[in-house]
Structure formats: structure tokens, C-alpha cells
Amino acid sequence: MTTATAPRVLDLAAAFEAHEATLLRYLGRLLGNGFDAEDVLQDTLIRAMTAALTPPVEELRPCLFRIATNRAIDLIRVRRHTTPFAVDPPHPADTASSAEDRAMIRAVRAFVETLPPKQRAALILRRYEGREYAEIGRVLGCSEESARANAYQALRRLRAHFQEYDR
């Protein structure tokens, strides 16, 4: 490592540490599995460190989310072709008041897992993480308008599915 790349690696390590919990929570929601989320998070750090040897990135947070999202999408695609979907048990943080509420939470999670990867990521980043469409676009490698469209389509599908589910 040259002295020119050392500050970039330190900046990246600090950014990773600052966003690690948020990235892990996002990946857990995106992948529906805590173990896969941890694996992708570690892979994100490795890939980001490798990328730190290339020209510097102005905004590290969107870069980290983009690497994590791309890796998660790769894993989702592989998983769809190799193993059946399995829903994790509800997270302890889900303090639903009734069995019916817990069942609905599991149903929403299961349906979100069926969304196309970019729509799933856009929905989670917008609704669960509260990110702006411009940042979502940078994470997904698309325009702000495309990010907005992906989030909208995901939400539209979710509402349509549960409107049918409610009947």
C-alpha cells in the first residue's frame, strides 16, 4: 500500500464502522436472513477495501450501500435458482401485539422477498431506512427517477397483493 492510498483506506474503514449497523440492518431486511446479511456485510468490506486502491470515491456511504446491494442481489439471484425460500422467524424487535399482527408481519416479509431485487432494495431503503431517492439511485446505480419508480412499483405490488390477501 502506498502512502497515497493509506488515507483512503483509513477513510473507508471509518465510514464502514460508522455505517456498519445500518448496513447490517438493511441487508437483513433485503435478504431476510441474518447469516446471509453478515456474510454480505463482510464481503462488502473486502470489496470496498479492494476498491480503495482505485481512484477515491467522494461519498463513501452510497458507495458502501451500492457494493452491499449488488452483492445481495447476486446472492438473491443465486438463491432463487438453487434453494426454496425460507422465512426467518420474526425478529425480537417485532413486538406485534397479537398472533394476527405477527402473521401479517411474516406475510409482508415473505411477499417482499418475492419482489425483483431492485424493487426490493428501493422499497427497503425508502420505507425502512428513510433514504432520499437521490441516494437510493446512487446505491442502485440508476437515476433518481428510476429509484423512485422502483420504490413505487414495489409499493404498488405490495398494496395490490395485500388488497387481494384481505379479501
- Same domain? For 108 and 51 the reply is no
Interaxial angle between packed helices 60-82 and 34-51, expressed in degrees from 0 to 180 and rounded to the nearest 10: 130
- Same domain? For 79 and 2 the reply is yes
Q: Give me the CATH number covering residue 111.
A: 1.10.10.10
Interaxial angle between packed helices 144-166 and 133-140, expressed in degrees from 0 to 180 and rounded to the nearest 10: 100
d(CA 120, CA 31): 9
- Within a domain: 42: yes
Write down which residue in 85, 120, 155 finishes a domain: 85
- Within a domain: 92: no
Cell of 74: 447476486
- Within a domain: 90: no
Write down which residue in 85, 108, 123 finishes a domain: 85
d(CA 122, CA 120): 6
pLDDT at residue number 56: 62
pLDDT at residue number 18: 87
pLDDT at residue number 105: 83
Could you read off the pLDDT tens digit of each residue along the chain, which spans 167 residues?
A: 445 556 666 777 788 888 899 999 999 988 888 899 999 999 988 888 887 656 566 678 888 899 999 999 888 888 776 544 444 444 544 555 678 888 888 888 888 888 999 999 999 999 888 889 999 998 898 999 999 999 999 999 999 988 865 55
- Same domain? For 36 and 1 the reply is yes
Is 0.85 topped by the overall pTM?
no
> Could you tell me how many residues make up the chain?
167
pLDDT at residue number 59: 75
Give a three-class secondary structure readout of the chain: CCCCCHHHHHHHHHHHHHHHHHHHHHHHHHHCCHHHHHHHHHHHHHHHHHHCCCCCCCCHHHHHHHHHHHHHHHHHHHHHHHCCCCCCCCCCCCCCCCHHHHHHHHHHHHHHHHCCHHHHHHHHHHHHCCCCHHHHHHHHCCCHHHHHHHHHHHHHHHHHHHHHHHC
Structural domain containing residue 164 = 98-167
- Same domain? For 8 and 75 the reply is yes
- Same domain? For 1 and 80 the reply is yes
- Same domain? For 60 and 81 the reply is yes
pLDDT at residue number 76: 84
* Residues 165 and 108: beta-carbon distance below 8 Å: no
Write down which residue in 85, 120, 143 finishes a domain: 85
Among 155, 133, 129, 130, CA closest to 144: 133
Q: Is 130 left (phi over 0), alpha (psi -120 to 50) or beta?
A: left
Number of domains in the chain: 2
Q: Give me the CATH number covering residue 24.
A: 1.10.1740.10
